[in-house]
Every structure is written in structure tokens, then in C-alpha cells.
Amino acid sequence: MEVTAHGGLSRYFGDPEETIMEHTKDHKLLHGTPHDPYLDSQRPAGAAQCPHCTAVYHGGHWHWPDADTAAALPAHTCPACRRIADGAEAGRLVLSGGFVSAHRSEIISLLQHTEAREKSEHPLERLIALRDEGETLIVTTTGTHLANRMGHALEAAWDGTCTYRYNDSEVYLDVTWQRN
């Protein structure tokens, strides 16, 4: 499915044999919730703490530790740290155009600020890497929400053309942003 910033929701016609997926309440009723192997597999049985980032799993969710968090929780690597170690992004932004090379440092600053805000409330939404491929900047993230938020932040700051394409299972988001 493809979502464009200025054109609203449009359909992505991939393989003609595939069913076109739309964002509707009925979709979740008919197809269930998306299956993300990093969230669904290796879920801790009880409370746990990630030895890499210190995020705490409790009550079915990952949170940042607070003052009341016990220091002796069992170690369990969180899904975001597993994605980073595996290089398995859930979101990817491809930024291109003359504006990107001319304003690279400001763009990177905006992306890092957006990540810091998102990560402060959602420990599983993190930046994996920023890399240059010629005149293009590639950004990879551990979650779809961060990739989506970064695309919207770029649009709000500098306009440009942004498209959002989810895979059929809605666990991967490919965002392209272009401005000359």
C-alpha cells in the first residue's frame, strides 16, 4: 500500500495476484493484527531488563526504567536491540535531491532530534543507521512509527515530496522524501 503526503491514500498495485490491502477497520477484523517476528518471538515470560539499553519489560510492554525499577531483573535483549544487532530494519527512509546534499547537517540534526523525542516515550523506536549512497541519504529504523514520524518532520520543516509505502503485513515502512 502506498500513502502519499499530498494525494491521500492510494492503492499500491504490486503483484496482480495479490489482494489490495486498504487501511480500514474491516482489514484488521478479516486479517488479524500484523505479525512482527521481532515483537512476537522470544517474548519474556515475566519482567525483564535489556542488558544493552536498560529498557524494562513489564506488563506486556517495554518501558524505560524509572526509580522504582528493581535492579535485579532477569536479562533479556529487547526487540529493538535485536533488530540493531541483526541489521533488520522495520523502517527505511530514502532522502534524495539537491536539497539533501546542500542541507545535510540540518537534516541529520532534525532526524536525530525526532528520534530522541520518539525514543523517550517508546524504547523500541530507534535509529539504526544513517548512510550516504551518492547524493542519497539512507536512514534505517527499528520501528515503523519512527520512520513515519521522520517523514512527517521532514515535510513540516522543508516541504518536498514524501511517500509512505507499507508492506502487506504492515510491519515494514519504506519512506521516500525528495526535494531539489
Please identify which residue in the block is written with the cell numbers 500500500: 1
What residue ranges do the domains of the chain occupy? 2-10+19-42+78-178
**pLDDT digit string (tens) for 34-83?**
567 777 667 788 889 999 999 999 888 999 998 776 568 899 999 999 99
pLDDT number for residue 96: 97
pLDDT tens digits, one per residue of 80-129: 999 999 999 999 999 999 999 999 999 999 999 999 999 999 999 999 99
d(CA 162, CA 8): 11
Which residues are CB-neighbours of 175 under 8 A, at least 6 positions away? 91, 92, 93, 94, 147, 148, 150, 151, 162, 163, 164, 165
Model's pTM, two decimal places?
Answer: 0.78
